[in-house]
Every structure is written in structure tokens, then in C-alpha cells.
Structure 1
């Protein structure tokens, strides 16, 4: 066998299992910038993509979704290695990074777009999601309203929403021009996300800054 063919074969054999190891989970936890930022810090997570799902609009845009009427949630698709982190563990982290008792939105972001949900693809995922939701309800001693819904088409959000939390461009905020990453941190703190998660979950809180 020629050296170049041997090299190509070796690369394919090496890449195959790695590609096959990637699985995905779709959740909605309020502002997708924040959920993306949180889960990209988790060992075993390869990538998180911000987007829209759960609605009827075929080509949703941020302006359409935020105006309401599309039925879409702001959501994220999490790409992960199941040999390093399980779907169940991801959902446990998810429930402990949101306020699952709030059916009107999340933190300062109000309205149907910002409701919480887990989107499941099969009976196995549904069973896990229902178990983890029940555990969260017992831990809080309060009614959990996070929905478990059948997965629909996930639409990737506009490029400027991806990795928003670490962007370097200058954006205009209520406090003047800021680097995008600084604007994100200001928004997150002002919105009260971490403070509410800590107050609700205590030492079980995930990702709270």
C-alpha cells in the first residue's frame, strides 16, 4: 500500500469513532447566550449552538421570534461525547442552572420565547428527562413547570448570536459602547440570572458566577 493511502486510511480509522461518539441534546433555558456560555464550560461538551425550536415558523429570525407569535423558544443544541458525560448529567446541570418554577420566562427575560423546556428525540430521552425533572421537583419542594416536548427542527440562530459571550466587537449598550464580552457580563448580572439560581438552588447551583 502506498504511504499516502496508508495515511488516509489511518486518519479515517482514527476519526470514525470520534465522530460516532458525538450525541446531541436540545434545551431551552431563557437567554441562549447564557445557556451556550454555561454548557461550553462542561468537560465532554464539544460545542453548543444557539438557535430556535418548538414553533411553526419555517425560517425563524431573531426579530421574528422576539416579537412573538412563532411559537419558538430560544434554545441551544449541545454536542457532547457520551463517553465523558451522559445525557442525564447534562439535564441535571441544566435544571440547576435555571429557574424551573417560572412559567413566564426566565429572570429579566419575559414571555413565551424564554420559557424552559427539554426537547426529546425518543422514549429513552423522555424517560430520562421525566426522571430528572421529578428529582428537581423533589429537591426544590416546589412545582417544576419546565416542559418536556418532542424535538422539532432546530434552526441555528444568526452568526452574531453564536459565542456571543466571548465576542470582541464593540456593541452599544445602555451604558455606552462596550466590548461584546463585557456587554454580555453586564447583561447577565443585571438580569439577575446567577443571583436567582443561587437563591433557588443553594450549593446545588450550576454555573452561577
Structure 2
């Protein structure tokens, strides 16, 4: 395995391991009935202190909720790109590998979200429309930090205009920071929910980058082997 591959695989593994450890800790460290309706919360002292400090800001919650459509639009754009390539090239195998991997990556993110909806670790500190909803990891944070970096990554690979790349990079950074901070201080999640999402999304993203790098080297090596065989 080349050094460039290791630089992306190892951080991905470490971040995913950190997410697993963090999830276990959330369920066992300082667990108290501190949530709404007496729900149990890990790291209760920290979470309750931070929640009381920030308060609840439903307007910010609503704004970040609607802005959650932005990463969904990004997903649809790349899905459209893959579909166009499929129609033009008439074979799934001829669609760019990084786009195929991106589709698989998005599906994996969605499955991760659905898994924690079915197996709640934490519940929100407040009721949403009178309902008690799962809160860990923060689904909006997970979606934003899983999808927006892929926009920057694909722009670096596909866009030839340096100024456009800079504009996309600034947009991705500013938007992601606003969404994470906004979700954190809106009061609809515990602080540990946001941290868990950061670990999970960052780990999954690094694994995606590794897979793109690995398949790229693999494809190049196969071409070289084929050309050497012909000679």
C-alpha cells in the first residue's frame, strides 16, 4: 500500500474507531435522567451545562433544518452526473469510478442515519412538535459533514478554473461551519451528539477518499500491466 493511500485510510479507521469508542462512552459515562421526560443522557453534567448556557433557539433550528436541503441537492447533482454518464456510455462499468464510489458512499451515510434512528442512543433535549426524537448522532451534522467535503473534493478533481475552486472551497467551509455551530447552539441536540457526528462523518469521508485513491492506482496499474503484456 502506497504512502498516499495510508494517509487517507489510517485517519479514516482512527476516526471511525473514535466514533465507536465515543458512542460507548456516551452510554456509560455520567449517565443521568437529565433529558426531557426523564430520558437518560450520557455525559449529563457536560451536556446539561452546555444546553443551559446556549439555551434553545428554534429559529436557528428551523434555518439549519431548511439548509439541510443543500447537501441533498449536492447529492442529487452528482447522482444526475452519474446518470448522464450511464446514458451516454451505455454501461455502468463506464461511469467514472469516483462517481460510483460516491453513490455507494452516500448510501452508506443514509444507512448510518437510519440505523441510529432505529436504535436511539440519546434523545433530544427538547420535544419537537410534541414528539421525543432520537438525537445521536446529529443527522443534519452527519449529512452536512459527509456530503459537503465531497463537493470540494470533486471540484478539485473536475473543475479547471482555479477561482471557481476557491469559491467552492470557501462556500463549503463557511456553510459547514455555520451548520455545525448553528446546530450546536440551537439547543435541539446535546453537545455529545454533534461530536459523534463529526467523528462518524469525518471517518466515512476519509474512507471514501481512500477508496477513490486506491481504485485510481489499481486502474493505472492494470493499464500498465496490459500495455506491458501487449509489448
- Same fold by TM (over 0.5)? no
Give the structure with higher Rg (CA).
2
Higher helix share: 2
Task: Normalising by structure 1, report the TM-score.
Answer: 0.28
Task: Normalising by structure 2, report the TM-score.
Answer: 0.26
Higher relative contact order (CA 8 A, sep 6+): 2
Higher strand share: 1
